[in-house]
Structure 1
């Protein structure tokens, strides 16, 4: 009975998550661009999301926003040429939702070949492991990062990452976060000197009415 209840809870959560995403898809399809405000303890960042070019990715991001998932989230990882163990080297800051929030199901990978959204200075994109594995973690590019585009060399599978928006104001805040090097010790060599000892808190992310 306990196992059945657990399976039922997982099924209901998946159905609810899909309902939230579907609702966000329907809502975001009304406009080609949706603006949002990221409020952090270091200042505000205004972004625009390309609902027409990356509908799956944007709808997923909006679903997390509407579920208040980013309230209490954080920018916790900073990457630059001086601390990047990957190849080619990149410059980004990585954020995530509150760790108390339960992730929605992973989404399909919308590649830059499909969306035509390149990883330029200020571009927002989804963090991921394998293809079709992104949930809510995202990053912001500091400077152009072509290695993250489709066929770029940063990810061995060559699919790149799903860019879906860009910063329109507040790049000074993004760059200030990226320059933080007060990091903590970690066991994984790949992210050594990248995980902030005191992450920059995301107070909220809210949609700006069109």
Structure 2
């Protein structure tokens, strides 16, 4: 069953301008990025512990290549998790944490949107996905889900263009969901944030000390895409 997204929640996910850094000229494009692996692991080291991500480059090569480009350039180092969204329904922990780069000078150009209807990577608990304004505007901001939120998956039958596109999921947490929860549980400011994001900002953002590629376990191979259920009547 597909959960409907309330106007407030969709506004919170879409209203990134409230969180964006002042517009500045983007950093010059560096050398051609390295080839995107079918699967890669990245460790985000925080004062609360390490979050190890497993990225699905086979099914989401644009999004994974973009994320690894920031990792390899060390542009996430010193950045923060700044948002903890708690859903008003379901059992906790539910919602997401969000982090990324607040300095526009450190951003690479936006990338093309990879919908879940194309990649098969759905928004389950532990999924990592790109934050954005409109489709095709994603850069470095990302979020990690604490619970399933299928409303963020692409819905080709929707009349709203944003719902049609959904968000671009590109991997999942392999280790460290306990750290994700610790960040989610941190105190939030009752006044910080604008619009639908008000009350969702962490009172003390959690720093990403380092963000680095790490070796794949020997037994891990390229991931298979999550099956997408057919539409009714098919």
If the length of structure 1 is used for normalisation, what is the TM-score?
Answer: 0.81
Query: 1:171, CA displacement in angstroms?
Result: 0.3
Residue number in structure 2 paired with 1:102: 106
Query: 1:99, CA displacement in angstroms?
Result: 3.0
Aligned counterpart in structure 1 of residue 204 of structure 2, from 198, 204, 207: 198
Tell me which stretches of 4 or more aligned residues in structure 1 moved more than 2 Å: 13-16, 97-101
Query: 1:100, CA displacement in angstroms?
Result: 7.4
Partner Cα separation in structure 2 for residue 200 and residue 119 of structure 1: 23
Residue number in structure 2 paired with 1:23: 33
Aligned counterpart in structure 2 of residue 157 of structure 1, from 139, 157, 162: 162
Query: 1:204, CA displacement in angstroms?
Result: 1.1
CA deviation digits over 1:25-69, x for unaligned, max 9? x2x2xx311011010111101110111110010000000001111
Partner Cα separation in structure 2 for residue 54 and residue 180 of structure 1: 31
Query: 1:184, CA displacement in angstroms?
Result: 5.1
Q: How many residues align?
A: 185
If the length of structure 2 is used for normalisation, what is the TM-score?
Answer: 0.73
Residue number in structure 2 paired with 1:168: 174
Residue number in structure 2 paired with 1:93: 97
Give 5+ residue unaligned stretches, structure 1.
Answer: 1-9, 84-89
Residue number in structure 1 paired with 2:44: 38
Give 5+ residue unaligned stretches, structure 2.
Answer: 1-24, 217-234
The equivalences for 1:1-210 within 5 A come to 13-16=27-30, 19=31, 22-24=32-34, 26=35, 28=36, 31-82=37-88, 91-97=95-101, 99=103, 102-151=106-155, 157-158=162-163, 159-183=165-189, 185-186=191-192, 188-210=194-216
| Closer, same or farther: CA 59–124 of 1 in aligned 2, 3 Å | same
CA deviation digits over 1:78-111, x for unaligned, max 9? 001249xxxxxx7110011363752000000000
RMSD: 2.2
